[in-house]
């Protein structure tokens, strides 16, 4: 959308717009005073606006004609705000915010007298409200689900590519919804992150992952005492990392389940890793407590070279996209080789995700990738199924 920035000038007493005019822009008052009147300047003034205030926004967000007339009360300069500068933001806004705003606007429309919306506009606005309220309800269901232990973990094994033994797991959360069946973490984790609900939810996920790891490790030490202890990778978001006392809380959880923190890998994908000094402090603290740090989805927009440059990770997880295109795009192979070389020189262990066939597993093994994760080896499974394979 090309934004026109232009200034309109008015003399004292000039009409800026009239009640009933169609509204195609709003204004920011850059200089002078503007009076709002029901119809014309002789009427009682509704409001007087000054420098820095917004004028004419109602018609834009309401999609209605001007509900009042505006006159310059002194020499006035206005910065024109295009309709799209506001509406494109509204369209991209959170459905809950849009719903709440629409409820508010419809109340104002009623107060201003009559509802002059077209049938189509009314339907559209009702849909906006419904979408917002559905999301709020879904959030409530999520709070209840956590209380009722309907948010559970499944575990996907990570395989040591040198001998195909199971080396550890990634804990992946699932919502066992009474009507919708299994809800994907893509749906509810994002929602939990928006409302900071990810903090209590994340601790519960952490707790059950540690509890299971302790069971898996005991089982493994009985069946294969010669193998290294199993590890558990747990996804943690920046909101969790920055929450009050996070490290102390996860430390207490590991102690409760008698887990050595060095067997826990904290997986971070970060879109929010902007304040490197802050994130570096959290990461250093995690390491001091003995936890391992893993950079998830490496190579995607969220996890790139800058993270590696600024922060210290123990493990790097190469994103699925490189593995998926290993046979079809020769560039994948080149990039994979370089990532592996780089990780080895930086003393990081390497995991490749999304391995779906034997050939890719073989190629990655030859390349020097340490661990493989993907449907070719195992899908995410519940704890009972995991016990069977270890
Ligand atoms: P992720 O951390 O990148 O997890 C890997 C995703 O790839 C998982 O999806 C896994 O089931 C899937 N996957 C594994 N192997 C294969 C394969 O061979 N082929 C294909 N096509 N997919 C494979 P899932 O379980 O749906 O998780 C999606 C995302 O949700 C995760 O991506 C992670 O970012 C997030 N997530 C899951 N659980 C948690 C959690 O407890 N906390 C947080 N903060 N995020 C979580
Ligand atoms: Ca992950
Ligand atoms: Ca990943």
Q: What is the pLDDT of residues 51-103, one digit of tens each?
A: 999 999 988 887 778 888 999 999 999 999 998 888 889 889 999 999 998 88
Q: In this structure, what token pair is assigned to residue 24?
A: 């195609």
- Residue 268 CA to ligand 2 centre (angstroms): 7
Look at strands 47-49 and 166-177 and give their pairing.
Answer: unpaired
CATH number of 149-389: 3.20.20.450
Spatial separation of the C-alpha atoms in residues 158 and 156, rounded to whole Å = 7
pLDDT above 70: residue 261: yes
- Of 3-7, 146-150, 158-162, 331-335, least confident by mean pLDDT is 3-7
- Of 91-95, 212-216, 353-357, least confident by mean pLDDT is 91-95
Question: What are φ and ψ of residue 196, in 5° steps?
Answer: 65, 5
Question: Can you give the residue ranges of every domain in the chain?
Answer: 7-133, 149-389
Look at strands 54-55 and 69-72 and give their pairing.
Answer: unpaired
Among the atoms of ligand 1, which is closest to the Cα of residue 373? 15
Query: Averaged over 98-118, what is the pLDDT?
Result: 78
Query: Averaged over 5-21, what is the pLDDT?
Result: 92
**HEC readout, 299-331:** CCCCCCHHHHHHCCCCEEEECHHHHHCCCCCHH
CATH architecture of the domain formed by 7-133: Sandwich (2.60)
pLDDT above 60: residue 3: no
Give me the pLDDT at residue 25, please: 93
Give me the pLDDT at residue 271, please: 62
Tell me which of 185, 242, 379 to substitute to probe ligand 1's pocket, judged by most ligand atoms within 8 Å of the beta carbon.
185
Question: Binning pLDDT at 50, 70 and 90, where does residue 278 land?
Answer: confident
Buried b (16+ CB within 10 A) or exposed e, 86-97: beeeeeeeebbe
Q: Is the CB of 303 within 6 Å of ligand 1?
A: no
Query: Averaged over 240-258, what is the pLDDT?
Result: 95
Question: Binning pLDDT at 50, 70 and 90, where does residue 110 land?
Answer: confident
- Residue 235 CA to ligand 3 centre (angstroms): 9
Q: Compare 337 and 65 and report the one with higher pLDDT.
A: 337
Q: What is the pLDDT of residues 195-210, one digit of tens each?
A: 889 999 999 999 999 9
Residue bearing the CA closest to ligand 1, atom 9 = 172
Considering the entire predicted model, what is its pTM?
0.86
Q: Is the CB of 233 within 6 Å of ligand 1?
A: no
């Amino acid at each position: 959308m090309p934004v026109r920035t232009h200034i309109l000038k008015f003399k004292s007493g000039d009409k800026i717009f009239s009640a009933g005019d169609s509204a195609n822009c709003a204004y920011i008052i850059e200089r002078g005073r503007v009076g709002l009147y029901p119809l014309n300047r002789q009427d009682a003034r509704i409001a007087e606006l000054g420098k820095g205030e917004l004028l004419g926004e109602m018609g834009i967000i309401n999609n209605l004609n001007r509900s009042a007339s505006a006159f310059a009360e002194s020499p006035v300069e206005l910065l024109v705000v295009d309709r799209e500068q506001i509406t494109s933001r509204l369209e991209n806004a959170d459905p809950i915010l849009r719903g709440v705003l629409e409820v508010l606007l419809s109340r104002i429309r009623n107060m201003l007298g009559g509802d002059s919306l077209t049938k189509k506009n009314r339907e559209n606005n009702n849909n906006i409200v419904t979408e917002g309220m559905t999301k709020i309800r879904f959030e409530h269901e999520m709070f209840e689900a956590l209380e009722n232990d309907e948010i559970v973990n499944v575990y996907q094994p990570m395989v040591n590519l040198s001998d195909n033994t199971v080396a550890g797991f990634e804990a992946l959360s699932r919502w066992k919804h009474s009507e919708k069946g299994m809800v994907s973490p893509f749906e509810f984790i994002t929602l939990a992150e928006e409302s900071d609900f990810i903090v209590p939810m994340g601790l519960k996920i952490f707790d059950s992952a540690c509890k299971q790891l302790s069971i898996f490790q005991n089982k493994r030490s009985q069946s294969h005492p010669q193998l290294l202890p199993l590890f558990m990778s747990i996804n943690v978001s920046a909101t969790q990392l920055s929450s009050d006392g996070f490290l102390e809380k996860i430390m207490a959880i590991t102690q409760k389940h008698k887990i050595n923190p060095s067997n826990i890998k904290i997986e971070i994908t970060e879109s929010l890793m902007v304040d490197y000094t802050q994130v570096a402090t959290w990461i250093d603290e995690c390491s001091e407590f003995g936890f391992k740090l893993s950079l998830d989805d490496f190579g995607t927009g969220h996890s790139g070279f800058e993270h590696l440059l600024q922060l210290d990770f123990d493990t790097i997880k190469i994103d699925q996209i490189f593995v998926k295109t290993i046979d079809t795009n020769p560039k994948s192979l080149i990039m994979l080789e370089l990532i592996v070389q780089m990780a080895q020189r930086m003393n990081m262990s390497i995991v490749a995700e999304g391995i779906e066939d034997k050939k890719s597993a073989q190629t990655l093994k030859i390349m020097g990738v340490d661990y493989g994760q993907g449907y070719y080896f195992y899908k995410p499974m519940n704890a009972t199924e995991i016990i069977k394979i270890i």
